[in-house]
Amino acid sequence: MQLAIEVKHLFFAYEKEYVLEDISATIKDREYIAIIGPNGGGKSTFVKLLLGLLTPTKGTITIYGTPPSKGRELIGYLPQNIHFNLDIPLQAREVILHGRLSAKKRTFDRDDLQMLEHIAQQLHITHLLNKKIGELSGGERQRVLLARALATKPKILILDEPTAAVDFKTQKEIYQLLQELDLTKIVVSHDVNILLQGVDRVFYINRKLYIHNNINLPITPQEGHFCEMEIFEKLGSENGCTH
Amino acid sequence: MVALIELLSNSLIAALLISIAIGIIGSIMLINRYNYLAASIAHGSYGGVGIALFFSLPLLLSTTLFALFLALLLAYLSYKEPKRLDILISVIWAMGMSIGIILSDLTPGYHSDLLAYLFGNILLVPNDDLYFMGIVDCIVLLFVWQNFHYLIAIAYDKEFAITRNLPVKMMHTLILVFIALTIVMSIRSFGLILVIALFSIPPFIAEKITKNAQSMMLAAAVIAFFLIVAGLFLAYFLNISATAAIILLASAIFLLFFKGLKSTTSP
Ligand SMILES: Nc1ncnc2c1ncn2[C@@H]1O[C@H](COP(=O)(O)OP(=O)(O)OP(=O)(O)O)[C@@H](O)[C@H]1O
Ligand SMILES: [Mg+2]
């Protein structure tokens, strides 16, 4: 089985203290991983390390056998925080098309436009395409950025809290879409419903990584206050979690 | 009227050429929020004037090279010290001007160069300047035409551009280089003060009234050209300073527009 992501003894500190400590994990091709954990646990940091936006203090990461600086071209990424310039006159359609750009590709062709239409239909955002990005609501903007991530034709899709700003219906649509996509998927979420969406494994990150290997064992949202570390670790040790 | 246009022909051509640069580089400056960076390069380049005087070098060559040096220095510093960039921009701003002033003080003879640098002389544009502006405009047009989507993608979401391995550093550096070139090519005729006003106000208005970056660039160029030409004629008929007339006109339109903007956006 081909490995999508391999992380070995990863340590990371922004300043002095480790935010992530001795993390090792492998993610298989086409696996669906949910990442959960408390605020400040290091989930977004972990994801940024996978994308090579941050450099490990110690340890190694490979994406399909290559370092993140190269392998990230295979990743479609939806960031948690969008800190970009919303004044810029820019339509949603252009934002999505930007997903087609690469180091070698600087213009768009007919295929790109077809892909745009297709993804827009898939995400029910055709009516938003001509709107300015600054005039979209938070949830609408998130869907446009998800479309941009899909437009990169990724082998791995990494979504950092894709359902945080969207309404219930959109949330369901996003989960539904994720199930249909035949890719390696990594979804960071605070929403326990994610665990009912056919994920293969759950990563609980709170400075360290605890992996829940068998999602079919009795670990349901009702009893799982997963964001309490002790409970997850207890459930984990009983149910075959490794760490 | 024909005689007047003939009289102003170099000024009008200069107006057209600077408007093209404003439309493109001014817009890119604004969407990247580089206006402060650009102002630093514009002021700091006065160092090049001092160097030209002191070492008896050709003025345009000396300021161009000095401005390019500052642009590359700023590009380098923005990678090396991103957290302290603000203060470094201010230091370069002040340092360049001081070098210019000290070197002109040390050069014997009479100099009114600082005033000329600030206000330019829009009614006496030498042919050489027009050629230089024309060449810079062509390079800028070619660059933006080739890299348009890169420039926009990087401008609004640098993190995304990095994850796609787009040439972020290269584009950033080239933008600063073109800011330096367009500013230097404009300053002798239009003066520092007018250049800063013209590279900021038309793109700002254009940003608010357009839907995409192409039309923003076009609108900014048209607004800039209109302001300069209107200012020139106003100056002629009222017998006042052309630079001041253009700035006042630009400011008036800016204020009117800003007021309109506020009353439409507030409930
Ligand atoms: N740029 C930064 N500089 C310094 N410290 C940071 C930075 N970004 C995050 N941190 C710290 O690193 C830790 C992990 O942050 P991270 O954003 O990865 O958490 P998270 O699990 O994604 O949290 P949330 O659920 O709130 O999104 C936090 O303690 C945070 O304060
Ligand atoms: Mg986070």
In angstroms, the CA B4 to CA A133 distance is 46
- Check if the beta carbon of residue A187 is closer than 8 Å to that of residue A219: no
Q: State whether residue B79 sits within 8 Å of chain A by CB.
A: no
Q: State whether residue A136 sits within 8 Å of chain B by CB.
A: no
Range of the domain at B36: 2-265
Chain B residues whose beta carbon lies within 8 Å of the beta carbon of residue A107: 149
- Helix boundaries (H) for chain B: 2-7, 9-21, 27-31, 35-44, 46-54, 59-80, 85-106, 113-119, 127-156, 158-163, 168-190, 192-209, 213-238, 242-265
In angstroms, the CA B177 to CA B69 distance is 9
- Check if the beta carbon of residue B33 is closer than 8 Å to that of residue B86: no
How do strand A58-63 and strand A75-78 relate by DSSP bridges? unpaired
Tally of structural domains, chain B: 1
Identify the CATH number of the domain in which residue B180 sits. 1.10.3470.10
Amino acid type, A113: L
What's the complex ipTM? 0.88
Verify whether the Cβ–Cβ distance A89 to B146 is below 8 Å: no
Closest ligand to C-alpha of residue A78 is: 2
> Within 10 Å of residue A69's Cβ, how many Cβ atoms?
15
- Helix boundaries (H) for B22-126: 27-31, 35-44, 46-54, 59-80, 85-106, 113-119
In angstroms, the CA A123 to CA A173 distance is 8
Cα A168 from chain centroid (whole Å): 19
Question: Which residues form ligand 1's pocket by a CB distance below 6 Å?
Answer: A 14, 19, 37, 39-45, 80
Lookup: tokens for A30: 């086409």
Chain A residues whose beta carbon lies within 8 Å of the beta carbon of residue B213: 88-90
**pLDDT one digit per residue (tens) for chain A, 243 residues:** 689 999 999 999 999 999 999 999 999 999 999 998 889 999 999 999 999 999 999 999 999 999 999 999 999 999 988 777 888 999 999 999 999 999 999 999 999 999 999 999 999 999 999 999 999 988 899 999 999 999 999 999 999 999 887 888 888 888 888 988 999 999 998 887 777 778 888 898 999 998 877 555 444 443 344 434 444 544 444 443 444
- Check if the beta carbon of residue A136 is closer than 8 Å to that of residue A84: no
Give B159 to chain A, closest Cα distance, Å. Answer: 8
In angstroms, the CA B136 to CA B178 distance is 8
Residue of chain A whose Cα is closest to the Cα of B171: A103
Q: State whether residue B56 sits within 8 Å of chain A by CB.
A: no
In angstroms, the CA A162 to CA A8 distance is 27
Identify the CATH number of the domain in which residue A194 sits. 3.40.50.300
Max Cα–Cα distance, chain A, nearest Å: 54
Tally of structural domains, chain A: 1
For the stretch B155-173, pLDDT in tens is 999 999 999 999 999 999 9
**pLDDT one digit per residue (tens) for chain B, 267 residues:** 777 777 788 999 999 999 999 999 999 999 999 999 999 999 999 999 999 999 999 999 999 999 999 999 999 999 998 889 999 999 999 999 999 999 988 888 766 678 888 888 888 899 999 999 999 999 999 999 999 999 999 999 999 999 999 999 999 999 999 999 999 999 989 999 999 999 999 999 999 999 999 999 999 999 999 999 999 999 989 999 899 899 999 999 999 888 877 665 544
In angstroms, the CA B49 to CA B2 distance is 36
In angstroms, the CA A208 to CA A11 distance is 9
Question: Going by CA atoms, what residue is nearest to atom 16 of ligand 1?
Answer: A42
For the stretch B48-78, pLDDT in tens is 999 999 999 999 999 999 999 999 999 999 9
Question: Going by CA atoms, what residue is nearest to atom 6 of ligand 1?
Answer: A14
How do strand A184-188 and strand A156-160 relate by DSSP bridges? parallel
Residue A78 has φ and ψ, to the nearest 5°, of: -115, 110
Amino acid type, B231: G
Exposed/middle/buried for B230, CB within 10 Å: 0-12, 13-18, 19+? middle
Rg of chain A in Å (alpha carbons): 18
B contact residues 126-165, partner A, Cβ 8 Å cutoff:
146-147, 149-150, 152-153, 155-160, 162-165
List, in sequence order, every residue forming a beta bridge with A78; answer none if it has no partner. Answer: A159
Range of the domain at A33: 3-242
The mean predicted confidence, pLDDT, of chain A is 86
Exposed/middle/buried for B234, CB within 10 Å: 0-12, 13-18, 19+? middle
Three-state SS at A203: strand
In angstroms, the CA B176 to CA B181 distance is 9
Question: Number of residue pairs across A and B with CB atoms under 8 Å?
Answer: 81
